[in-house]
């Protein structure tokens, strides 16, 4: 369990830096291994053997050590063996660079690999999307600390391995001059798909990782104004996230309320930094919406009851009134609801009402009887007893604790 936690931590750190986290089996196919460079060589060369390429790198890795592998294009990877649940597999963190490449570097790569001039645009675009690690010392210290604990080898070091031999492969007769190679478009859409799937499941960590990977794929500006362009891109991202949340059977009213709030914040942003900062916040809030209000796993009648209670908690509600509304047997509804939700209908009604009261306790000076009435409790004393049962304190004590902080 601890090993999986460490693996998640490494993936999250890499995601924040837009560095790919990849686990390959020793017998991986050429298609699986092509993820190593996002199919870059497959765009330049005919039938490039990615499986052989991956195997040649794996052979260089000591059993309990880590290499900083620098390939023939100057791309770096941290590479080390998996163990326990990942036995027989190899981790690749990358590709990344230690400095941004210039036009002179692109021309040198073209000459060094004996590529035709038609490949320059593909090389230029590809290397401009590769993340750059500027602080080499901090980077190595960070991962030598984490990986050494993961590998249970405190004495391990990260050793630089250079691959200077040019891969012998036949160049394609014509390399696309498009500023956005199709392979990169495929990779971008794959990252976006995985991000949206993680949002649909409410997985903040995984969604953030793939969002950072997705943001690494540069796109041409749609309009001349960079701020307007950034806002339009984030608005489009919000719309896609909204659809993912809808697939998790979250009620449209919740989605509309959040998306409306986010849209206002996007339009009020004054610079690109503020706009970019909204993206991880969007992911977090959409995932929390799924975690709190997803009805995907519930049957239709239970889903209907949950949604009705959520939006009509201030009205008189009971198991009998809800069974009558949805024309189902009272005992059937009670049994089904408890089995799927893990609590009785009455307990859920009370829980929902107490949750709604928290905002009134923190944001208003209303009296306890007034709050009780607004949240659907007919009796203030019953509200207090229910609140204490759920939170271990009274509403009055809860409000005082907020005032002290």
| pLDDT tens per residue across span 355-374 | 999 999 998 999 999 999 99
- pLDDT tens-digit readout, 38-92: 888 888 888 889 999 999 999 998 877 889 999 999 999 999 887 655 667 899 9
Q: What is the reported pLDDT for 5?
A: 61
Q: What percentage of the chain carries pLDDT values higher than 70?
A: 88
Q: What is the reported pLDDT for 182?
A: 45
Helix (H, G, I), strand (E, B) or coil at 161: strand
Nearest to 42 by CA among 170, 133, 137: 170
Quick check: 232 pLDDT over 80? yes
**Averaged over 120-145, what is the pLDDT?**
83
**Averaged over 373-385, what is the pLDDT?**
94
Give the residue with greater pLDDT, 83 vs 261.
Answer: 261
**Is there a contact between 110 and 120 (Cβ–Cβ < 8 Å)?**
yes
Q: What is the reported pLDDT for 177?
A: 43
Q: What is the reported pLDDT for 1?
A: 37
Q: List the single range of 35-44, 279-288, 385-394 with lowest mean pLDDT.
A: 35-44
Specify the length of the chain in residues: 405
What's the angle, vertex CA 329, arms to CA 326 and CA 333, rounded to 5? 75
Omega into 95 within 30° of 0, i.e. cis?
yes
What CATH number matches the domain at 300-404, 1.10.10.60, 3.20.20.70, 2.40.30.10, 1.10.3470.10?
A: 1.10.10.60
Q: Report the relative pairing of strands 76-81 and 89-96 from DSSP bridges.
A: antiparallel
Quick check: 247 pLDDT over 70? yes
Give the residue with greater pLDDT, 64 vs 130.
Answer: 130
What's the angle, vertex CA 59, arms to CA 55 and CA 61, rounded to 5? 120
Q: What is the reported pLDDT for 3?
A: 45
Give the residue with greater pLDDT, 308 vs 20.
Answer: 308
Q: List the single range of 77-86, 115-124, 321-330, 395-404 with lowest mean pLDDT.
A: 77-86
Beta strands in 26-141 (DSSP E): 66-70, 76-81, 89-96
84-88 CB contacts, 8 Å cutoff, 24+ apart: 84/3, 85/3, 85/4, 86/23, 88/25, 88/26
CB atoms within 10 A of CB 162: 11
Q: List the single range of 15-29, 217-231, 249-263, 290-304 with lowest mean pLDDT.
A: 217-231
Q: What is the reported pLDDT for 219?
A: 53
Please compute Rg for the chain using Cα positions.
Answer: 27
Tokens for 60, please give them: 């260089």
**Averaged over 175-190, what is the pLDDT?**
56
Q: Report the relative pairing of strands 158-162 and 89-96 from DSSP bridges.
A: unpaired
Helix (H, G, I), strand (E, B) or coil at 241: helix
Tokens for 36, please give them: 């190593």
**Is there a contact between 267 and 315 (Cβ–Cβ < 8 Å)?**
no
Task: Output the pTM of the full model.
Answer: 0.61
Tokens for 26, please give them: 């020793």
Q: What is the reported pLDDT for 151?
A: 55
d(CA 52, CA 33): 9
Q: What is the reported pLDDT for 180?
A: 42
Question: What are the DSSP calls for 322-334, one per residue?
Answer: HHHHTT--HHHHH
Tokens for 323, please give them: 């069974």
Q: What percentage of the chain carries pLDDT values higher than 90?
A: 50
Q: What are the Cα distances from residue 134, in Å, to 1, 66, 87?
A: 33, 20, 32
CB atoms within 10 A of CB 237: 22
**Averaged over 134-160, what is the pLDDT?**
74
Q: What is the reported pLDDT for 166?
A: 66
- pLDDT tens-digit readout, 308-345: 999 999 999 999 999 999 999 999 999 999 999 999 99
**Averaged over 225-252, what is the pLDDT?**
90
Q: pLDDT confidence of 380, banded at 50, 70, 90? A: very high
Q: What is the reported pLDDT for 185?
A: 63
Q: List the single range of 5-9, 125-129, 154-158, 216-220 with lowest mean pLDDT.
A: 216-220
Q: What is the reported pLDDT for 14?
A: 83
């Amino acid at each position: 369990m601890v090993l999986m936690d460490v693996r998640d931590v490494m993936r999250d750190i890499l995601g924040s830096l837009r560095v790919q986290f990849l686990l390959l089996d020793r017998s991986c196919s050429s298609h699986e291994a092509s993820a190593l460079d996002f199919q870059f060589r497959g765009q330049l060369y005919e039938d490039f053997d990615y499986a052989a390429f991956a195997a040649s790198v794996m052979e260089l890795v000591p059993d309990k050590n880590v290499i900083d592998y620098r390939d023939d294009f100057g791309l770096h990877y941290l590479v080390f063996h998996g163990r326990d649940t990942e036995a027989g597999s190899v981790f690749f963190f990358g590709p990344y660079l230690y400095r941004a490449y210039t036009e002179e570097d692109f021309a040198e790569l073209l000459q060094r690999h004996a590529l035709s001039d038609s490949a320059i645009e593909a090389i230029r675009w590809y290397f401009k999307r590769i993340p750059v690690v500027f602080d080499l010392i901090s980077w190595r210290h960070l991962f030598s600390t984490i990986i050494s604990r993961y590998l249970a080898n405190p004495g391990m070091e990260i050793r630089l391995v250079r691959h200077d031999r040019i891969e012998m492969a036949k160049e394609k007769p014509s390399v696309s001059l498009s500023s956005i190679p199709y392979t990169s478009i495929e990779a971008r859409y794959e990252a976006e798909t995985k991000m949206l799937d993680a949002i649909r499941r409410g997985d903040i960590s995984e969604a953030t990782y793939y969002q950072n990977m997705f943001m690494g794929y540069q796109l041409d500006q749609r309009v001349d104004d960079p701020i307007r362009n950034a806002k339009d891109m984030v608005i489009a991202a919000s719309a896609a996230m909204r659809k993912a949340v809808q697939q998790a059977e979250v009620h449209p009213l919740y989605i509309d309320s959040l998306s409306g709030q986010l849209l206002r914040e996007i339009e009020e942003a004054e610079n690109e930094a503020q706009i970019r900062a909204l993206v991880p916040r969007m992911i977090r809030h959409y995932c929390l919406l799924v975690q709190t209000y997803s009805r995907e796993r519930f049957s239709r009648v239970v889903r209907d009851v949950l949604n009705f209670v959520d939006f009509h908690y201030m009205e008189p509600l009971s198991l009998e009134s809800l069974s009558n509304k949805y024309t189902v047997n009272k005992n059937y509804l009670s049994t089904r609801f408890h089995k799927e939700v893990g609590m009785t209908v009455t307990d859920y009604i009370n829980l929902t009402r107490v949750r709604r009261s928290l905002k009134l306790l923190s944001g208003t000076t209303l009296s306890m009887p007034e709050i009780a009435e607004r949240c659907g409790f007919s009796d203030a004393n019953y509200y207090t007893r229910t609140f204490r049962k759920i939170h271990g304190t009274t509403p009055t004590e809860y409000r005082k604790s907020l005032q002290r902080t």
